[in-house]
Amino acid sequence: MSIAQALRQIQDRRLILPAIQREYVWKPRQVIQLFDSVMRGYPVGSFLSWKVLPETVSQFKFYGFMKDYSAFDNYHNPEIDIPSDREIVAILDGQQRLTSLNIGLRGTYAYRNHGGWVRNRWAYPTRRLYLNLAGLASENELGLKYHFQFLTSDDLLATAEDETRKWLPVSDVFEASDAFAMTKILTRLDGNHEEAIDLVSRLWHAVHSTATLHFYQEDDQDIEKVLDIFVRVNSGGTVLSYSDLLLSIATAQWSGDARAAVHGLVDSLNQTGNGFGFSRDTVLKAGLVLSDVGDIGFKVKNFTTANMEKLEAGWEDMSRSLQVAVGLLSDFGLSGGMLSADSVLIPVAYYVHHRRLDHSYRDSPKTRLDREVLRSWVLRSLIVRGVWGSGLDTLLRDLRDVIREHGDHQFPLVEIERAMAGRGKSLAVTDALVEDILSLSYGKARTFAVLALLFPHVDTRHQFHIDHVFPATLLDKKNLRRSMDAAGSPSFTSDQIDELVDRRDRLPNLELLPGLENIGKSAKPPSEWLAAEYSTAEARGAFLDRHAMPPALPSSVAEFSDFFDERRTKLAARIRDLLASAAPEARPADTRDVVDLDEELAGGDDVE
């Protein structure tokens, strides 16, 4: 069918989306590339549709296509009600392309201005798609031939007098449903310019006349088969989470709106503190764990009516537990960029849920010691590689069992670490772990967790910066190359410079400082800053002791390497002391548990 025919079916809600579809994820650049391909007559791929009979319609939830997309506050597809006696066609493959055509020809796209505040509505102005009739696109990296662009009303005013910019709203072409209506567009063109007429005619024919879209239809009503087809055809391109598919089953079996409930909770959790990046996968997995469902794997068989009823019945309580748990992670100084494994949220939430804790747990003096134990365990589990990797479902089930059996009054640290060691995920300190930690560098998620654990005096509920003890600017490669000794010779060889630059960002040269204090420190040599900041020898000594520093801080680059080695030794001792595990030693490295194949293939969410 033609593009216009497909969009009219979308407009009439005869062409819709099943809940198994993920939401719209294309960027403006991709939309423009698609329209460029349409104008050039290139194939834009085939589409897979599903003919849904009335008896199946009533068992499923469906959504409309996005028309006016806003990255700020309108990015969830609208749910639509389908009459139970109506047969419809749902798109299994091709949603992103069809939505892009719908936005470009019928709607708007509001994306954030470069440098705009994420939470400021005004940073997301409404834009429509336009075609420049003054000429073809200038040379560009994307290889575009035609000049399509998303513009705001202010953009139009700014280019009103520019002879190289004659903008036609692409929506005008869609609304011109016949040749007579297209002629009206042509009569508006200044001077009846031949090139402009050709551009309008070409776009009109591409939208209305050419059968550009090729559909293949699936008629089977078996959801398992449809789900399998959907997974197969969506295995490429933008990664599709399996939870996106399973959410549809929950949506179909939930009396309320499961999709809205999950999306709302994810949005709420991610706005906590300095912001997180939890996915629907994590929230759905947490839901299965907190509901005490036996098998928590992402499998169709686990999303039964009984399990979904249990999930829906306890959703409000589980949501509160997850919000308290995310609040705790934020209190521990963690956020999206500093959380190396999202799955750590789940056992924390289960502990909160099991004990029915509320937000008062986060700051009550009575729960301080328990919070410190929980904080230590969370940070250590994020520091040790592989804890939240393969075999995740098995680990989560074990941790749930331990908390359920031993976590009525306090966080059962000893029993939890024993269970983890039994799964080959011991938190015990080894020489290899110490060396791995000492080699961590600036900017890595695990680095903050290490510093927060090693320096418990830091109140991570306030803003702290990871700071270079010896300023990074003084160890810049260009500055080091320009450095000369008293005789006028280079101060450092090429190898020495490489070593200094590498050491600059390693853990022994990092510390946590309050935000304002870090800003004030600037690029002063450490010895000079310490003397200015702390007026007495006693205060300076206390600072050095808290931060595991040598007795004297370096005053020049020449003293940096000795400082680095001394502090590395001090940190190694502190790592062994503070990371000491309360659980038995790890099993031999060559033994491991057998996990389900789908778990093994799924891997984990560890990130460096």
Per-residue pLDDT tens digits for 40-82: 999 888 888 888 888 878 777 788 999 999 998 898 888 888 8
Starting at the earlier edge strand, list the strands of the sheet with 46-52.
79-80, 62-63, 15-18, 88-93, 46-52, 214-218
pLDDT (average), residues 181-198: 74
DSSP character for 509?
A: G
Burial class (CB in 10 A: 0-12, 13-18, 19+), 584: middle
Whether residues 292 and 206 share a domain: the answer is: no
Whether residues 414 and 442 share a domain: the answer is: no
**Alpha carbon 546 to chain centroid, angstroms:** 34
SS3 of residue 441 by DSSP: strand
Q: Give residue 329's pLDDT.
A: 93
Whether residues 110 and 60 share a domain: the answer is: yes
32 pLDDT above the threshold of 90: yes
pLDDT (average), residues 506-517: 75
d(CA 200, CA 177): 13
- When divided into structural domains, the chain yields a total of 3
Whether residues 309 and 202 share a domain: the answer is: no
395 pLDDT above the threshold of 50: yes
d(CA 403, CA 416): 8
| 373, two tokens | 């134990």
Q: Which domain holds residue 508?
A: 436-578
Point out which residues pair with 40 in neighbouring strands: none
Question: Which residue from 57, 64, 61, 66 is spatially nearest to 86, judged by alpha carbons?
Answer: 57
Q: Give residue 189's pLDDT.
A: 66
Whether residues 197 and 332 share a domain: the answer is: no
- Helix, strand and coil content of the chain, in percent to the nearest 5, comes to 50, 10, 40
| 534, two tokens | 């702390």
586 in Cβ contact with 429 (< 8 Å): no
Burial class (CB in 10 A: 0-12, 13-18, 19+), 173: buried
Residue 500 forms part of a structural domain: yes
Whether residues 460 and 532 share a domain: the answer is: yes
Residue 378 forms part of a structural domain: yes
Q: Give residue 99's pLDDT.
A: 96
Residue 244 forms part of a structural domain: no
Q: Count the Cβ atoms, other than its own, within 10 Å of residue 597.
A: 8
Residue 235 forms part of a structural domain: no
Which residues touch 546 (CB under 8 Å, ≥6 apart)? 455, 457
Amino acid identity of residue 196, one-letter, is A
3-state secondary structure 338-358: HCCCHHHHHHHHHHHHHCCCC
